[in-house]
Amino acid sequence: MRKCQSWRLVKLLTVSAVLVLSAQILVGVLSKEQVKTSPLSEQEHRLLSPHSYQYVLNQPLCRYTSPFLLFLVPVAPQDNAAREAIRKTWGAPGQDTLTVFYMGVPEGGQGSSLQDKLEEESREHADIIQMNFLDSYQNLTIKTVMMMNWAATHCPRASYVMKVDSDIFVNVFHLLRWLRSCPRQAFITGSVINDGRPRRDIYSKWYVSEEEYPEDSFPPYVSGAGYVLSADLAARISWASRFVRMISMEDVYLGLCLRVLGVRPVYALSLPTLRNLFEIRDLEYDRCTFTKLLIVNGFKASKLLQHLGLNLFSAQRTQTSSTGCI
């Protein structure tokens, strides 16, 4: 329970930091109440509805046992190297964790040679979930909603779900210990972005037209690199998606669903330094720094494998690897 108290302290500090640091955010919170929600039209909903797509590959992975923490990794069909590296590092099967890879169909469709390879890989590892939407960058939002729906319907007894990109370092040991310190509901944490705005510059990679999103700011959301939610929220997000129009930035989309649900994403900060535990910048590997973080960005397959021996990935890691760190 002491850890719960320190968690409350984190929350308290977070709240005060937010209050003190930015009056702007407060304005955002106040104006948020005025947003009306109504269900999407049939046609708008169809693009994101779980009923619009069928499983090409699926696995009854939670039929007999449920993991404490389910990792959902969106990955492009051709990115076999990333899947291999994750299976050998933080995604290795553990007692408390389960890792599934989520994808749509490749460009060439279901008859392509890439699809044949995927089916072989799926037979070997039984960790690939695939639905029949086209796998593309712009369709990441579809993928995210489908992942939430999969978690809610196929793995409903997991305690936590983590959406994590395939180029991320995950400190499984620290993450599990941190999550176990306190049971939570309607909870989502990650690197919170409170002041996001749509880019109206047509040449920007993140251009959003006024037609697509008329408001001039985004509600708070968590960076898509990696975020953790209590499993109850996966079902509620999937439900909320029938009120939120498709926008191609999946993390913003999730924030819009959270607004419908009245759930605020929270920061995860370390004490006493108030460092963000979800590090979305790239950092050079440093054992002492990494022991204390939950995720770090910028770990492509080769870099993950290079650190294979360092043991920070494993839930069974011995306590000793943080010795010598301050």
Residues found near ligand NAG in the complex (CB under 6 A): 133-134, 136, 138-139, 142
Task: Tell me the closest approach of the beta carbon of residue 1 to ligand NAG, in angstroms.
Answer: 47
- 213 DSSP 8-state letter: -
Q: Which two tokens stand for residue 239?
A: 């439900």
Residue 241 vs 276, nearer CB to ligand NAG: 241
Specify whether the CB–CB gap between 176 and 186 falls below 8 A: no
Residue 133 vs 227, nearer CB to ligand NAG: 133
Answer positive or negative: Cα dihedral of 271, 275, 276, 282.
negative
Task: Tell me the closest approach of the beta carbon of residue 136 to ligand NAG, in angstroms.
Answer: 3
Distance CA 125, CA 179 (A): 27
Specify whether the CB–CB gap between 75 and 114 falls below 8 A: no
Q: Rounded to the nearest 5°, which phi and psi values hold at 276?
A: -70, 120
Instruction: Provide the terminal-to-terminal Cα distance of the chain, rounded to the nearest Å.
Output: 24
Residue 21 vs 134, nearer CB to ligand NAG: 134
Residue 66 vs 136, nearer CB to ligand NAG: 136
Specify whether the CB–CB gap between 295 and 170 falls below 8 A: yes
Residue 139 vs 291, nearer CB to ligand NAG: 139
Task: Tell me the closest approach of the beta carbon of residue 164 to ligand NAG, in angstroms.
Answer: 22
Q: Give the residue nearest to ligand NAG (CB).
A: 136
Nearest to 223 by CA among 206, 238, 210, 207: 206
Task: Tell me the closest approach of the beta carbon of residue 221 to ligand NAG, in angstroms.
Answer: 21
Task: Tell me the closest approach of the beta carbon of residue 274 to ligand NAG, in angstroms.
Answer: 40
Nearest to 56 by CA among 108, 122, 147: 122
Region of 213 please: left (phi>0), alpha (psi -120 to 50) or beta: beta
Task: Tell me the closest approach of the beta carbon of residue 149 to ligand NAG, in angstroms.
Answer: 15
Residue 105 vs 240, nearer CB to ligand NAG: 105
